[in-house]
C-alpha cells in the first residue's frame, strides 16, 4: 500500500487499494517461467508459457501448471523509515497523479487505468522477471484457468541475448530475443514442430523489437481456432515460418509404458498439478504391483507446477530427510520434509530420472531431491535453472493481483540451482536431427538399468 497523500483529508477513503492475504492459488514455482514461468518459468531459459491463462505459464501454457496450493506463512515487513518519511518519498507520485487527473487535455483519464499502470510500474521496477502484475481481467482469467485446460499454442517461453545466454530484459531488441523453452505435451506448438531453443523472430509478419514481454505474449496467444504465424530461427537452419492453430489444451500429465520385456516401468510426468501428482503416485504403485523392479521417471520438457505436487512426487521415493529448503527474504531456512501420507517405495527399486533444458521449477525440486539423496541417477542434459517461489496476492477494489517472488528454494544439500540448472549424473544430449521414434536419452537409461557392462556396475564406486 502506498503511503497516504498528506494533502488527503483524514476522513477520505483510501487513495490506493490494500493487498489482501494471498489468493486461492497460493504459491507457485514455475512457471515456467513461466512470463511463466514457465517454470513458469519468467524469463531466463524458460520464462513464460502462452495461452489465455496469464503469467509465465499462462502466457503460452496453462495457469494450473505453475500455481501452487502450498502456502507459506506471511512475513511481517519491517519497512525502513517512518510513515512520514515514506509519505514524503511518495509525494512526487501524488503530484504526478493529480497533474494527470486535473490537467491532461486530450481525453478523459480513467482512474483505474492509472492505478493499474502505477502498480505495474512498481512491480517492473523490482527487475524480477518472475514477479508480475496482472490486471483485473487477466487475474480473473488466470484463476479460471487453473484447472489445467486453456486456449493457446501451448509452449513455455523465455528471453536470451544474441549469444543464446539467458537474460532479463524489459523489451525485445538485438540483444533480447524470445526463445521457446519447451512445447507442452500434445499442444499445437509441439505438433507444429517447435523445439526448445527456437528463437521467435516475428509474429504474424511483425518483428518483436520494441515490444515488452507482455505485448509479445498478447500477440502470440489467442482464442481456439485462430492462427498465428511465427518466424523461427533455429541453429543450423535458415529462418522458417511455422503456422500454428490455437486450440484448447488438455494437459495429460502422466504417461506410462513398459520397457525391456516389462522389467522397466517408464512414467512420464508433463506437469505438476495436485491431480497429476496423485495420478503419478498411482502409476508408480501400479508398476511395482505389476512386478517391475526398475523405474524411469521422465521429467524432460516439464516446466513445473505446484510445490505441493513436487513434494508428493518426491515423497514417493524419499522417506526421510529434506525434499528441499526454502529461504525467505530474511535468510531464514525452512525444511520441507516428505509427505507422511505418501508411502515411499522400497529403496531397492532402482530409479532413473530424465531431465533436459525444458525441465524447470517443480521438476528441478524433484530432480534435485533425488540426486542429493542418492535415490536416483539423473540422465540427460542440464535443466533449466529456476530456483524461486512465487505467491499470488489478490488486490482489493477489482485491481487485479500480483505474482511476487517470496522465497528461494534450495536442494537438500542447500544448492541454489537458479540460472545454473541441475547437471545430470550422466550427460546424454538428444541431437536436433534425431529421427522420429528414436530417443538416445531413454535408450541410455534403459541400458543403465539393465546392462551390467555399461550400466550401474560400470560406474566408478565412491571412495
Residues 372, 383, 394, 403: which is the catalytic one? 372
Decide: helix, strand or coil at residue 202: strand
Q: H/E element holding 89?
A: helix 83-89
Residues 6+ apart with CB under 8 A from 293: 263, 349, 350
> CA dist 101 to 8, 109, 117, Å?
15, 6, 14
Give catalytic status of residue 408 as yes or no: no
Neighbours of 447 (CB within 10 A): 15
Residues 361, 363, 373, 383: which is the catalytic one? 361
Residue 267 near residue 287 (C-beta atoms within 8 A): yes
Residue 35 near residue 59 (C-beta atoms within 8 A): yes
Residue 329 sits at φ, ψ, to 5 deg, of -65, -20
| 74 alpha carbon, distance to own chain's centre | 22
By CB atoms closer than 10 A (0-12, 13-18, 19+), residue 456 is middle
CA–CA gap between residue 235 and residue 432 (Å, rounded): 9
By CB atoms closer than 10 A (0-12, 13-18, 19+), residue 276 is buried
Give catalytic status of residue 372 as yes or no: yes
Residue 288 sits at φ, ψ, to 5 deg, of -65, -45
Decide: helix, strand or coil at residue 33: coil
In order, the DSSP letters of 229-257 are EEEEE-TTS--EEEEEE-EEEE---EEEE
The CA-to-CA distance between both ends of the chain, in Å, stands at: 57
Q: H/E element holding 363?
A: helix 362-372
The sign of the CA dihedral 60, 62, 65, 67 is: positive
Helices (DSSP H) in 81-167: which residue ranges? 83-89, 91-103, 111-126, 136-144
CA–CA gap between residue 245 and residue 255 (Å, rounded): 25
Q: Residue 292 has which C-alpha cell?
A: 517391475
Q: Which of 47, 71, 69, 70 is nearest to 58 (CA)?
A: 47
Residues 273, 315, 339, 386: which is the catalytic one? 386
Residue 21 sits at φ, ψ, to 5 deg, of -65, 165
By CB atoms closer than 10 A (0-12, 13-18, 19+), residue 87 is middle
Neighbours of 9 (CB within 10 A): 7
Active site residues: 361, 372, 386
Amino acid at each position: 500500500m502506498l503511503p497516504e497523500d498528506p494533502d488527503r483529508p483524514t476522513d477520505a477513503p483510501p487513495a490506493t487499494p490494500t493487498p489482501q492475504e494471498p489468493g486461492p492459488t497460493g504459491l507457485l514455482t514455475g512457471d515456467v517461467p513461466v512470463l511463466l514461468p514457465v517454470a513458469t518459468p519468467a524469463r531466463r531459459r524458460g520464462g513464460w508459457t502462452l495461452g489465455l491463462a496469464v503469467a509465465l505459464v499462462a502466457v503460452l501454457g496453462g495457469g494450473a501448471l505453475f500455481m501452487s496450493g502450498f502456502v507459506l506463512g506471511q512475513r511481517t515487513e519491517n519497512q525502513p523509515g517512518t510513515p512520514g518519511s515514506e509519505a514524503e518519498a511518495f509525494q512526487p507520485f501524488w503530484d504526478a497523479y493529480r497533474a494527470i487527473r486535473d490537467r491532461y487535455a486530450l481525453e478523459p483519464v480513467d482512474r483505474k487505468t492509472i492505478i493499474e499502470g502505477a502498480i505495474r510500474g512498481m512491480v517492473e521496477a523490482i527487475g524480477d522477471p518472475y514477479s508480475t502484475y496482472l490486471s483485473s481481467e487477466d487475474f480473473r482469467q488466470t484463476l479460471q484457468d487453473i484447472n489445467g485446460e486453456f486456449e493457446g499454442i501451448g509452449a513455455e517461453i523465455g528471453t536470451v541475448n544474441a549469444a543464446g545466454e539467458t537474460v532479463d530484459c524489459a523489451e525485445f531488441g538485438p540483444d533480447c530475443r524470445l526463445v521457446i523453452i519447451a512445447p507442452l505435451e500434445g499442444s499445437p506448438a509441439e505438433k507444429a514442430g517447435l523445439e526448445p531453443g527456437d528463437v521467435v523472430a516475428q509474429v504474424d509478419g511483425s518483428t518483436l523489437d520494441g515490444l515488452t514481454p507482455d505485448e509479445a505474449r498478447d500477440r502470440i496467444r489467442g482464442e481456439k481456432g485462430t492462427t498465428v504465424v511465427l518466424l523461427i530461427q533455429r541453429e543450423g537452419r535458415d529462418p522458417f515460418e511455422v503456422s500454428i492453430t490455437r486450440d484448447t489444451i488438455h494437459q495429460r500429465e502422466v504417461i506410462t509404458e513398459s520397457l525391456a520385456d516389462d522389467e522397466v516401468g517408464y512414467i512420464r510426468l508433463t506437469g505438476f498439478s495436485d491431480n497429476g501428482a496423485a495420478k503419478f503416485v498411482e502409476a508408480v504403485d501400479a508398476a511395482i504391483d505389476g512386478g517391475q523392479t526398475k523405474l524411469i521417471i521422465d521429467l524432460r520438457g516439464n516446466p513445473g507446477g505446484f510445490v505441493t505436487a513436487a513434494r508428493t512426487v518426491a515423497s514417493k521415493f524419499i522417506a526421510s530427510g529434506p525434499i528441499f529448503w526454502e529461504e525467505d527474504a530474511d535468510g531464514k531456512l525452512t525444511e520441507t520434509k516428505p509427505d507422511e501420507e505418501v508411502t515411499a517405495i522400497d529403496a531397492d527399486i532402482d530409479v532413473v530420472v530424465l531431465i533436459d533444458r525444458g525441465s524447470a521449477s517443480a521438476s528441478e525440486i524433484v530432480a534435485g531431491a533425488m540426486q542429493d539423496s542418492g535415490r536416483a541417477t539423473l540422465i540427460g542434459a542440464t535443466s533449466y535453472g529456476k530456483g524461486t517461489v512465487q505467491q499470488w496476492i489478490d488486490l482489493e477494489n477489482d485491481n487485479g493481483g500480483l505474482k511476487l517472488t517470496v522465497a528461494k528454494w534450495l536442494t537438500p544439500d542447500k544448492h541454489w540451482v537458479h540460472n545454473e540448472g541441475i547437471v545430470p549424473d550422466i550427460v546424454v544430449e538428444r541431437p536436433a536431427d534425431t529421427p522420429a521414434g528414436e530417443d538416445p536419452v531413454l535408450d541410455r537409461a534403459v541400458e543403465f538399468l539393465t546392462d551390467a557392462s555399461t550400466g550401474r556396475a560400470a560406474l566408478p564406486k565412491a571412495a
